[in-house]
Structure 1
């Protein structure tokens, strides 16, 4: 099939590479300009460079809503559009243009975790598996019929970085497998159960601020979700920002006020956590490694030279 690809960052790069390695013919690539957004500078393999290296024409757009782009798409005469990590709305006149429509590839197990940063949100929320879905695009965000979907398990110590590496390997088989089904004439794809749909927004600095009213189990997953190269989860100690690089749920239960720097346990320092911490039924968060405001990375047992005082959400 003749394919136009819309994509960005490493997700788009892997999709384009899979298409170039397949029997399908990539006739045009549309990608975004480089961005200074913190999350868009991560996993930033260039779709444009890969396309140009293979002699595929490239168009750079923030939004695909201009007449020149539409004319170029008509001239390319694609049988299908394939999109992965396209960051803005694609209008109906574009996604309906090819005879087979548009196949969107999304890094979640739709209908859950539509929208942005699905791996990070899924890890924070304690999901047991994550994955990649190829679905037909329609008028709703990430809502069309599922053509192919594959999942991987979330391990007890997996970080968001680990999950990225696991799921990015699914892009090629999911994408090409879906295209092969479409090319074979299949149209009986699985409609999504919209009652199960969830939508998530882009991550920001507010989303990585530690709230000590959260249970320790949730905070431990937040720390893993904000693994390098993502911005680290952070709190404040004595008015200065303190990033938490590694942590675990405490072995023992600790009572008191959320955020209290309480007790050395093994190689960590336990912080009281949970909105109902006063009951004494909660585990705490045992912080193991931190990064100070001046960039020093040190064990928590070296940073917290004495117990007492509080970690807070604001300076």
Structure 2
């Protein structure tokens, strides 16, 4: 089949690589220009460079809404469009253009976690598995019929980086198998149960800010979800931003006011957490390693030399 690919970052790069290694012909690639957005500088393998290396024409676009793009798509005459990590809405005149429509590849187990940063949100929420879905694009975000879906388990110590590597490795076999099914006419499409759908927004730095009213279990997952190379979960100590690099759960229950720097336990420092912490029946967040604004990393037991005081959600001039 003749294929046009829309995609960006490592997800799009892996998709294009699968297409180039398949028996299908990639006739055009559309990708976004390089971005300074903090989350778009992570996993930023270049789709454009891979396409150019293989002699495939490339168009750079922030949005797919200009006449030249539509004309180039018509000239390319694709049998199918394959999209992965295209960051804006595609209009019907694009996704319905080819005879086989547009196959979108999304890194969640749809219908859950449609939208942005699904792995991070899923880890924060304590999901037991994540995965990748190939579905037919329609006018609603990540809502089209599913042709193929694969899941991987989430372990108790997994970070977002672990889950990224585990799911990104699913992209190439899923793309290849889905296209083979579509080309051969053996594809079986399943409608999504929209009552189970959930939609998530693009993450920004403020979404990494720690709310000490969250239960410690949720905060421990937030720290793992915001591991390097993602912007770390952060709080404020004595007016300065402090990044939490690694953490666990305290063994004992600790009561008091959320955010209180309480006590040393093992290799970490316990911070009181949870809106019901006053009852003394909740575990605290055991902070193990922190990073200051100058980039210096410390063991929490070295950084917090005395107990007492509070970690807060805001610093001077921060809202």
Could you tell me how far apart the structure 2 residues matched to 1:6 and 1:68 are? Answer: 15
User: Which 5+ residue runs of structure 1 have no aligned equivalent?
Assistant: none
C-alpha deviation, 1:293, in angstroms: 2.0
C-alpha deviation, 1:186, in angstroms: 3.3
Which residue is 1:266 aligned to? 266
Could you tell me how far apart the structure 2 residues matched to 1:47 and 1:12 are? Answer: 6
- Aligned ranges 1:1-315 → 2 under 5 Å: 1-186=1-186, 188-315=188-315
CA contact (8 A) 2:262 2:308 kept: yes
CA contact (8 A) 2:2 2:78 kept: yes
Could you tell me how far apart the structure 2 residues matched to 1:187 and 1:258 are? Answer: 52
C-alpha deviation, 1:187, in angstroms: 5.1
Could you tell me how far apart the structure 2 residues matched to 1:277 and 1:187 are? Answer: 52
Could you tell me how far apart the structure 2 residues matched to 1:188 and 1:31 are? Answer: 29
Question: Residues 237-261 of structure 1: CA distance to partner in whole angstroms, max 9, x if unpaired?
Answer: 1111110000001111000000000
- Report SS of the residue matched to 1:169: helix
Could you tell me how far apart the structure 2 residues matched to 1:13 and 1:206 are? Answer: 28
CA contact (8 A) 2:178 2:187 kept: no
C-alpha deviation, 1:206, in angstroms: 1.4
Matched length: 315
C-alpha deviation, 1:91, in angstroms: 0.4
Q: 1:169 to 1:187 in 2, by over 3 A?
A: closer
* TM-score scaled by length of structure 2: 0.98
Cα RMSD between the aligned structures?
0.6
User: Which 5+ residue runs of structure 2 have no aligned equivalent?
Assistant: none
- Report SS of the residue matched to 2:39: helix
- Report SS of the residue matched to 1:39: coil
Could you tell me how far apart the structure 1 residues matched to 2:33 and 2:160 are? Answer: 25
Dislocated runs of 4+, deviation >6 Å: none
